[in-house]
């Protein structure tokens, strides 16, 4: 399977606990994006990486959220002190961006991690 993978697929946690999600992008893709999707809404951009550099963060990303991509390959998204409002589907996507020419911006999405905070 050469697509984007995410782990875990489902996570149920109690309010106040910390959770961490992992995303493995398509291997040759240098860009990695995190989104959040709530029921009946479109995905909302959270942050993205070009290789290991985090280039953009949404205002939606509060101080309780942190993302890393230490070696430019997989990425983790951690939520500290979870709140019920954090319940959502967390989506990861990857794409290939080429320097010196038009960026290829086709994002390929993983299956998502569904977080439920009780």
Which positions lie near other proteins, rule CB under 8 A? 31, 33, 40-45, 48, 55-56, 89, 91, 93, 95, 97, 102-103, 105-112
Closest CB 4 distance from other proteins, rounded Å: 9
Which CB sits closer to other proteins, 40 or 100?
Answer: 40
Residue 116's Cβ-side half-sphere holds a number of Cα atoms within 13 Å equal to 5
Closest CB 49 distance from other proteins, rounded Å: 12
Task: List Cα–Cα distances, 72 to 22, 23, 103, 104, in angstroms.
Answer: 13, 12, 18, 18
Closest CB 111 distance from other proteins, rounded Å: 5
Is residue 10 within 8 Å of 18, Cβ to Cβ?
A: no
Which CB sits closer to other proteins, 48 or 65?
Answer: 48
Longest dimension (CA), the chain: 47
């Amino acid at each position: 399977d050469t697509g984007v993978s995410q782990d875990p697929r489902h996570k149920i946690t109690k309010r106040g606990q910390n959770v961490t999600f992992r995303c493995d992008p398509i291997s040759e893709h240098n860009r990695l994006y995190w989104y959040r999707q709530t029921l009946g809404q479109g995905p909302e951009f959270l942050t993205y990486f070009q290789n290991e550099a985090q280039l953009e963060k949404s205002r939606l990303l509060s101080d309780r959220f942190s993302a890393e991509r230490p070696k430019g390959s997989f990425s983790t998204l951690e939520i500290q002190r979870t709140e019920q409002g954090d319940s959502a589907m967390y989506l990861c996507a990857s794409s290939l961006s080429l320097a010196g020419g038009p960026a290829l911006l086709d994002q390929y999405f993983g299956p998502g991690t569904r977080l439920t905070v009780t």
